[in-house]
């Protein structure tokens, strides 16, 4: 534990060597741990990489009081659960869209159905092409109805970051709709 605290202090002071040592020691085990939740190696690696990126980027505000190992594993667990929740939201959204499409199919012309399907494909492709954090913020706001401060707290980012990411996402959607 004392060793953990000295490593944390070194990382907080910007010691890249201490950070690299922690990264090398925990990267693979954390990926395996994340995979127990996600069942997806790529997603697990992304979760762990994002954790280490955030750890280094926000090292000055790092609050580890007892065990660095526990902190890392708890963070991976929380991020993996968030990832799964995000997948669930996307699945529910797609199911809802398909249900709505089926319900409105009887009242529309074949041309309208074709245009609607094409727009759905473009929206799904755009959502899939967005960076993970932007997609997460957009989904939390538009599909789950969460407010910017609530999203900022949940994702541990500033409200300004949420605003900026939403702005970028909306601009991307406007490009799609202006091309129709």
Helices 159-178/110-129 angle, 10° precision: 150
- The answer to whether the predicted template modeling score (pTM) of the entire model surpasses 0.75 is no
Q: Can you say how many angstroms the Cα of residue 6 is from the centroid of all Cα atoms in its chain? A: 31
Q: What is the tens place of the pLDDT at every residue in 3-49? A: 667 788 888 888 889 889 989 999 999 999 999 988 888 888 999 99
Q: What is the tens place of the pLDDT at every residue in 93-105? A: 777 777 776 666 5
Give the separation between CA 14 and CA 142, rounded to whole angstroms: 38
Give the separation between CA 23 and CA 19, rounded to whole angstroms: 6
């Amino acid at each position: 534990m004392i060793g953990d605290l000295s490593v944390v202090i070194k990382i907080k002071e910007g010691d890249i060597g201490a950070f690299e040592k922690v990264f090398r020691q925990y990267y693979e085990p954390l990926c395996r741990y994340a995979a127990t939740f996600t069942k997806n190696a790529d997603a697990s690696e992304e979760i762990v990489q994002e954790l280490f990126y955030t750890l280094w980027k926000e090292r000055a505000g790092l609050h580890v009081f007892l065990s660095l190992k526990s902190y890392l594993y708890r963070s991976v667990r929380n991020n993996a659960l968030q990832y799964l929740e995000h997948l669930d939201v996307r699945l529910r959204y797609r199911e809802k869209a398909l249900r709505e499409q089926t319900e409105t199919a009887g009242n529309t012309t074949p041309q309208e159905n074709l245009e609607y399907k094409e727009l759905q494909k473009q929206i799904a492709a755009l959502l899939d092409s967005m960076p993970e954090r932007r997609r997460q913020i957009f989904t939390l706001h538009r599909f789950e109805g969460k407010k910017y401060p609530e999203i900022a707290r949940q994702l541990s980012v500033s409200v300004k970051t949420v605003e900026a990411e939403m702005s970028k996402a909306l601009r991307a959607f406007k490009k799609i709709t202006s091309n129709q």
